[in-house]
Amino acid sequence: MKKTAVIKILKNDGKGVLATDTIYGLVGSALSKKTVSRIYKLRKRDAKKPMIILIGSLNDLKLFGIKINGKLRKFLNKLWPGKISIILPCPNKKFSYLHGGTKSLAFRLPAKRSLLKLIRQTGPLVAPSANINGLKPAKNIKEAKKYFGNKIDFYSDEGIIKALPSTLIEIKRL
C-alpha cells in the first residue's frame, strides 16, 4: 500500500499494522479517542494499561500537555531518537482514554526515518505490539493477519522482524 493511502487512513481514524523501529505495531492516531478505543478492543488489552505513543519530534509532547524544561530536554535528546520509550506524567483527564487513569503516558521518538516521516504527516500514533494481549508479537504480516484478519484497514509488509520491544524508562517528576 502506498504511503499516501496509509497517511489518509490514519488521519481518518483508521488503524493498521506496520513495522516500527522495534517490532510490528498496531497503529492509529493517538489523538483519536475512537481509534484508540478500537485498538484496545482489537488487542483485548486492559484499558488501564497505557499504550506507547510514537512522536515525530519533542514538540509533539505539547499536544499531550507535557511541558519540557531544559534539564528534561537535554536528557531526552541523549536517548532519542531511539528504541527507548519514556514514561512521563500526564495528569490531564482529557487523555484518560490513553492512560487509563494512570496519569502517565509512554512516548518514543523512533530513529527509523521512514516512520518519522509518516508520524510527522499523521501526528502521534499509538503503537502497541501487533498481537492479542498475552500472545507473542507478530514477527511478520502473516502472523499479524492471523490476529486481526480484516478487522483493520491496512498491513504494511516489511518482512520478518526479530527485534525486541522498546526499553521503558519512567520519569516521575518533570
**pLDDT tens-digit map of 71-124:** 999 999 999 999 999 999 998 889 989 988 888 999 999 999 999 999 999 999
In degrees and rounded to multiples of 5, residue 108 shows phi and psi of -140, 135
| pLDDT band of 173, cuts 50, 70, 90 | low
pTM: 0.93
**pLDDT tens-digit map of 6-48:** 999 999 999 999 999 889 999 999 999 999 999 999 999 887 8
SS3 letters for the chain? CCHHHHHHHHHCCCEEEEECCCCEEEEEECCCHHHHHHHHHHHCCCCCCCCEEECCCHHHHHHHCCCCCHHHHHHHHHHCCCCEEEEEECCCHHHHHHHCCCCEEEEECCCCHHHHHHHHHHCCEECCECCCCCCCCCCCHHHHHHHHCCCCCEECCCCCCCCCCCEEEECCCC
Cβ of 132: how many Cβ atoms within 10 Å? Answer: 16
CATH of region 3-170, choose from 3.40.50.800, 3.40.640.10, 3.90.870.10, 3.40.630.30: 3.90.870.10
> What value does the CA radius of gyration of the chain take, rounded to a whole number of Å?
15
